[in-house]
Structure 1
């Protein structure tokens, strides 16, 4: 009986990924680097994922991902292909024999799986930017993630389950009682062992992410107007998900991504302008190894398919913002952002097609955010005197307004840049 507890915490995968959806933490503009000018930049991004927007667009704690009701049907393991038939039949027989006496039915709730989780993430991004011509700029960025995941789980039994345990005591079924108590004390851990996942524990690590190369071409360059087209190529250099871990921080998705952007600026003067941009990111389909759910409400599964056709949802980004310069060498920025990601699609031949569709549950995501930023630099003085190294410091804050299936915690970004 002890290994019949359901697991749904793999739903957390998409929630952690939302941290790495490359949100707008800066103001994008149509400006490009002058010919033969190079900028070296270092960006740091900090966040801690403890809150989220769920599938119903309601805000709540990340711990809610663990909380799920456990019915006696699931406790028996009727739908679990790994449950022991003899053990399953024994418990089912007990419920049939004592169900009326104890007021227990198969679809009645026996208790709830509970837990807590928090994710701390700091990202360092070295960036190289170079003006190939006065209209064409190339940029290369490689994010480096440092993360810490803290997890805990438990189980809260309903009165009916406590009555069942008391019945075991009275009938002197001590083995069954011990099995029941052990499972109640370690619900997620028991399932981890049953389905051959790696131990359910806290994690801490550091790894490089996906390499991003961008090309921006200045199409229009006038006194008050600027228009640029940008192409991004994201190479799958980051660590992919580990299907043998119940909770993990996926650094990369293992796919080649292509992004296409159009950016328009309206300039009031050199340091004051409005800007808007629209970006579409195409996630190129591939094959991957996946654990295939055996029930719609249980993402965790012992069944593995190493050749799944995977098509992750494409992304759409929109930004509208502006910058003003109240003082020499000081700029302030404000922007609104919208980010949408389509549903992930999976297909395979090893199991029923409906089971593959369950992999894409809750994978559609969108979020409305706002960005506040400030920059200080010595560039105005460098233009007068060439005796200084051009330096610029940018600080940005990204706040979340509303969303679906994504984290809610704000992001703080720091960037130091120099030019030569």
Structure 2
């Protein structure tokens, strides 16, 4: 789960309350930390390393789910956070002027929603924060709910996968329980943790070939630790894997779950196995740490994904595009933890909403259009068609610090 929101929406305070309410940190620890990423770091050793992870993580438990909470502190770090997430909490400030600044006044709220949807988030809770400042007014809540719901539906979120919750991150109101008589007069819906519990279970691709995305690398004793997420398939202690794109073969000597698996697989070997959806640390041997980097893919040698520079893709251009996209445009291609210089070598066609061709070989792409393109990346990386592997088939294009398009790969070339 990734936490989204404009810079002043109150994400840190809210997540501090969530972590206290679920017993992950004490009130004293939460009060001491002003940075959400530090609250989410698993242990002191990570902080001692200066938090080399771009994304803090903590697992919270609700009755139906174990949920790994991801925080992406900066805008640049937001992309790997969203790319690793199945679900999101969008925090918006209800204070008059603050919501408008984040949503329509050039703030990041809309872009965060578009990026999250483009990177694969399919369920979202909108936490309408600081509503106590507005006197728990139902009218203000419904006004914000209407604006955001309309935008979420436009981004093709399904209505049954959208939830709205009025809260106060500062006082903790309606995080775990609703104590306010003013709020309970009209709000009969869930608390924030109830809404988290209401998420539909994520669809895990256990039967597909192993794909493990490395999000952190460090030495520990005689081994090298690669932290990351199994995005499909499974891996066990003793397995031999190939590291892409470098091609070195490694052996998994140890596997550590960041939190004990909550599934009902009653088998002692489960702790030595990581399946799709698990975030784990793999201790590997037979490789120099200098050969490893964030963004590497681990897989089985006999089931390697394509390693390529070229692909065709379908993109959706963002609403606020200052300069049209032309053939030969130079952009930065973001996929999970990678960002690579890229050239858009062909503008194949502009597409209708149903995917049919509206115009062949356009001269330029403007705001809000859907298009088919061909692109070439500066270095060979692991890419797959979105239909084969969602996490390695979706991407974001940025230019001059601005997100210009989100897309999915149709075919590698």
Query: Aligning the two structures, in what range does the TM-score lie when normalised by the shorter sequence?
Result: under 0.3
- Name the one with the larger strand percent: 1
- TM-score, L = length of structure 2: 0.22
Name the TM-score, length of structure 1 as normaliser. Answer: 0.21
Structure scoring higher RCO (CA < 8 A, sep ≥ 6) equals 1
